[in-house]
Amino acid sequence: GEDVEQSLFLSVREGDSSVINCTYTDSSSTYLYWYKQEPGAGLQLLTYIFSNMDMKQDQRLTVLLNKKDKHLSLRIADTQTGDSAIYFCAEQSGNMLTFGGGTRLMVKP
Amino acid sequence: NAGVMQNPRHLVRRRGQEARLRCSPMKGHSHVYWYRQLPEEGLKFMVYLQKENIIDESGMPKERFSAEFPKEGPSILRIQQVVRGDSAAYFCASSPATSGGYEQYFGPGTRLTVT
């Protein structure tokens, strides 16, 4: 089975960049996703990247994909206090998404 | 254009009772997925349904859990004889038929507490 891993916690200062990392195991994954979950809320789809891409940029978000190392990262530029949340990466495995355990991002003013 | 809707948002059940969780997909979406999130963990896939069909139930516990997506009405996740270990957040996601399962949009979840 697939196993998606993320570090548990990241703390940054407001205005700095945040980089959240993820490793996955299914080399046949076609799409990889980043979701954001605020306390007590559902998951918000932030961005996704197709497996034949190396990078995708969307406003303050930059996704980098290293297929050789099965490594995915999400960079948030100019991090704001409103970015404080749990961030989940997920890989597409057939019809289902397999999620990592989530990285809790804390942004200090 | 309403997003994925789930109700109830919070559900409290005593051990042994039944829990019914409802999910209405986004307009135009005919594929529904259920996921479970245990405290402090990521989401785990449970089941994937299309209208009147269960396509993949590889993540469903073998007993007490069932899901349906009728021709009319919402998708239902049913848990019979609930136990404390069923306490979790249950999320529903939907995607359009043309996406092949990509771009799954999630509802706000139902938080089930078993006392």
All residues of chain B having their beta carbon less than 8 Å from the beta carbon of residue A2 are none
How far is CA A78 from its chain centroid?
16
**Residue B98, pLDDT score:** 66
Answer yes or no: are the C-beta atoms of B34 and B95 closer than 8 Å: no
Q: Does B25 touch chain A (CB under 8 A)?
A: no
- Give the whole-angstrom CA distance, residue A106 versus residue A12: 6
Average pLDDT over residues A15-43: 89
Cβ distance B43 to A97 less than 8 Å, yes or no, reads yes
What DSSP designation does B26 have?
P
Average pLDDT over residues A59-76: 95
Q: Which of B43, B54, B99, B105 to mutate to test the interface with A (most CBs of A within 10 A)?
A: B43
- Mean pLDDT of all residues in chain A? 91
Which residue(s) pair with B55 in the sheet?
A: none
Q: How big is the A-B interface in CB pairs under 8 Å?
A: 57
pLDDT confidence of B100, banded at 50, 70, 90? low
Q: Kindly report, residue by residue over A69-91, the tens digit of the pLDDT.
A: 999 999 999 999 999 999 999 99
H or E element: which one contains B106? strand B105-106
Residues of chain A neighbouring B45 (CB-CB closer than 8 A) = 96-98
pLDDT per residue over A86-102, tens digit each?
Answer: 999 999 877 788 999 99
Share of chain B above pLDDT 90, in %: 77
Which chain A residue has its CA at the smallest distance from B92's CA? A42
Complete edge-to-edge strand list for the sheet that includes strand B5-7: B5-7, B19-24, B75-79, B65-68
What value does the mean pLDDT take over residues A5-29?
92
pLDDT tier at A42 (50, 70, 90 boundaries)? confident
- The nearest CA of chain B is from the CA of A103 a distance in Å of 10
> What's residue A28's pLDDT?
78
Question: From the CA of B101, how many Å to the nearest CA of chain A?
Answer: 5
Residue with more model confidence, A95 or B86? B86
Please check whether residue B39 touches A, CB under 8 A.
Answer: no
- Of the listed ranges A59-68, A73-82, B95-104, the one predicted with least confidence: B95-104
Residue of chain B whose alpha carbon sits nearest to that of A42: B108
Q: For residue B93, which residues of chain A lie inside 8 Å, CB to CB?
A: 97
Backbone φ, ψ for residue B64 (5° rounding) = 75, -15
Q: Which residues in A34-49 are b (16+ Cβ under 10 Å) and which e?
A: bbbbeeeebbeebbbb
Residue A2 pLDDT class (50, 70, 90 cuts): low
- Average pLDDT value for chain B: 92
Least confident of A36-40, A70-74, B109-113: A36-40
